[in-house]
Amino acid sequence: MTFNKTLLASSVALLSFNSFGAAFQLAEQSASGLGRAFAGEAAIAEDASVVARNPALMSVFTNNQMSLMATYVNPDVSLKGTGAPPYADASQLNNDSIAPTAIVPAGYLVMPINEQFAFGFGAFSNFGLSTEFADDYAAGQLAGKTEIVTVNMNASLSYKLNEQFAIGAGINYVYADAKIIRHMGTTPLPVPAQTEAVHLEGDDYGFGWNLGVSYQSAPGHRFGLHYRSETDIKFAGEYSNQLPAQLGGLAGQSLPGSVDISLPAMAEFSGTHQLDKQIALHYSVMWTQWSSFDKLEAMVPGRDTPVFHKQENFSNSWRYAIGADYQLNTDTKLRVGIAYDETPADENHMSISIPDTNRLWLSAGAKHQFSAASSLDVGASILRGVNRRFSEADSLGEWQFESEGNAYLFAVQYNLAF
């Protein structure tokens, strides 16, 4: 059983390092925000998506508001092998695309109660990740399938103190589901490359809170500050592999296992300024407390101490955005934005699953008003990442890579007042 516990610890180590070795934060909570690179999100009160970025802004609405949206994410993350252990060829590591396309949905509802109070509800995601390699990929113990999906269900209440100040607070129920599959890959051991070395699936839920404040200094000029707490998640699930018993494997047998993580806290400061009847300027600074993701500990039932412990080197990260709106005519508004998104990953702890990097966002979008009650937002962004060179080791050797990471996003959102 001692050897089985060691295998379980190794599998959880792979899950944590490859799923979370790179930033897995999502910003795509609205199409209106995407069009301006999410500049001004904690200060702008255009639609019900304010539930996700600052609930204090719900106090601006006088009618019920509903927003439904979806973002199409097309990652372009490629790898080139620059080095491999003696038993492998570095060219076997080349891969044109390691991240599949995805659709990220969200929905929001804001309901004013009276002149002071408003209630809101949102279902969206702040964190997510998906990468997938071929079953016979050479560095199979580092690659394979890695997936984490989170859903945040956020109930909020706002209170309007006066014409200038409003506050808002919310409670968050966060469901998270994770999957990790690893294969042996190219190895000197007498096993096929596609043999599953790790298969671990688990899920859990946790609770958090968020708090926001808005201040309108003059008509058309507003500042906002929003804080979202960290959420503790304990993934509990089953571990198995296809390794034969003579190599110490489980031959498909399952074992229970768990790992605790903290989804990091976030804070955002924003400003929005209506410069004239046509042009508005927006900006945001967002801080994410990735330093709370400081260690990984794997546990098995019947043992009080971890079977695996690993210290991480994540650091807090910043995101800066500036954007503008242009009111083209009575029914149509145009948007543009640019943002710089820092990676929290230490260059000495890069991961093949998502070779994270600093990113530049270039965004554009539009809003069309069908009537006083309904409108449609569209937004698009190009994300350009910095090329990185790094190495990563498995139990049998070190692999070296050069990565290039870009992405293309498109979002559409329908808004209804009633």
Q: Nearest to residue 138, comparing CAs of 350, 403, 347, 352?
A: 352
pLDDT at 139 exceeding the cut of 70 = yes
Euclidean distance between CA atoms 379 and 363, whole angstroms: 7
Question: Based on the structure, what is the number of domains in the chain?
Answer: 1
Task: Kindly report, residue by residue over 249-299, the tens digit of the pLDDT.
Answer: 767 777 787 777 788 999 999 999 999 999 999 999 999 998 887 666 666
- Identify the pLDDT of residue 248: 65
Confidence of residue 307 (pLDDT cuts 50, 70, 90): very low
- Identify the pLDDT of residue 220: 94
DSSP for 139-200, written as a single string: TTTT-SEEEEEEEEEEEEEEEE-SSSEEEEEEEEEEEEEEEEEEE--S-SSSS-TT-EEEEE
Q: At 412, which CATH number?
A: 2.40.160.60
Spatial CB neighbours of 134, under 8 Å, sequence gap ≥ 6:
none
Domain span at residue 176 reads: 2-417
CB-CB contact of 401 with 82 (8 Å)? yes
- Identify the pLDDT of residue 5: 37
Task: Kindly report, residue by residue over 79-101, the tens digit of the pLDDT.
Answer: 898 999 999 999 988 988 887 88
349-368 mean pLDDT = 85
CB-CB contact of 417 with 373 (8 Å)? yes
| Average pLDDT score, the chain | 86
Entry pTM: 0.86
144-169 mean pLDDT = 93
> Pick the residue with more confidence: 240 or 341?
341
**Token pair in block for residue 390:** 């790094």
- Identify the pLDDT of residue 408: 94
Q: Which helix (H) or strand (E) holds 14?
A: helix 2-20
**Token pair in block for residue 218:** 């003059």
- Identify the pLDDT of residue 110: 98
| % pLDDT > 90, the chain | 52
DSSP letter at 11 equals H
